[in-house]
């Protein structure tokens, strides 16, 4: 198994390598100029993705006001991936960052999990919302982002009442 312990050097940082398409073992499932998304190698839920900025940012404590748009883009990509994977229950998802020292890789990554209610029991402690370990992307922001992502896609993909209700508002 790949050693995932932190190395601050961008030359050996596994997430920098993945961002540059240089890790043969990782399938990038979504990508744009700034970000890549791939599956967590140790999934904690049926759907578990990581969204990573191509820029080497150490962790969420390195973020400042100038990163707001980046974090929004990360959340948006996470939502888009969930959408692509057929996840329609937006209330049963979890998006967040681990807080140092509980980070496995020293390169900022947003965890995107669904369904949140099916996070595996032995991993649950790692993803308790807004605990000292795990800080979630604001729930209201997620709902807004989801509506935004959704508008960009085709409405018929969704079939749940919850989503249908939201369109009518
Ligand atoms: Zn890196
Ligand atoms: Zn992590």
The confidence band for 80, taking pLDDT boundaries of 50, 70 and 90, is very high
Please list all protein residues whose beta carbon sits less than 5 angstroms from ligand 1, which is an ion: 13, 15-16, 56, 107
* Nearest listed ligand to the Cα of residue 135: 2
State the distance from the centre of ligand 1 to the C-alpha of 119, rounded, in angstroms: 27
Summarize pLDDT for 122-158 with one digit per residue, the tens. 999 999 887 888 888 764 455 555 555 544 443 333 3
User: What is the per-residue pLDDT for 142?
Assistant: 54
pLDDT of 161 > 70? The answer is no
Distance (angstroms) between ligand 1 centre and the Cα of 103 equals: 13
Taking the complete model, does pTM exceed 0.75, yes or no?
yes
Distance 161 CA to ligand 1 centre (A): 41
Cβ neighbours of residue 108 under 8 Å, at least 6 residues apart? 52, 53, 57, 58, 59, 60, 62, 63, 97
Reported as half-sphere exposure (CB side, CA atoms, 13 A), residue 53 has a value of 21
What residue ranges do the domains of the chain occupy? Answer: 14-168
**Domain 14-168 bears CATH identifier 3.40.1160.10:** no
Residues annotated catalytic, as ranges:
109
């Amino acid at each position: 198994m790949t050693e995932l312990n932190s190395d601050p050097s961008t030359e050996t940082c596994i997430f920098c390598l993945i961002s540059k398409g240089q890790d043969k073992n990782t399938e990038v499932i979504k990508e744009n100029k700034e970000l890549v998304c791939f599956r967590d190698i140790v999934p904690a839920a049926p759907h578990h993705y990581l969204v990573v900025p191509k820029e080497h940012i150490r962790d969420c404590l390195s973020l400042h006001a100038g990163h707001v748009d980046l974090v929004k883009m990360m959340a948006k990509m996470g939502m888009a991936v969930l959408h692509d994977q057929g996840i329609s229950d937006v209330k049963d998802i979890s998006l967040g960052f681990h807080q140092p020292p509980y980070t496995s890789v020293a390169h900022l990554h947003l965890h995107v999990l669904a369904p949140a209610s099916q996070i595996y029991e032995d991993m649950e402690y790692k993803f308790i919302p807004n605990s000292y370990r795990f800080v979630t992307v604001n729930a209201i922001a997620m709902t807004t982002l989801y509506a935004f992502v959704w508008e960009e896609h085709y409405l018929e993909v969704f079939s749940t009442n919850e989503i249908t209700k939201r369109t009518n508002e």
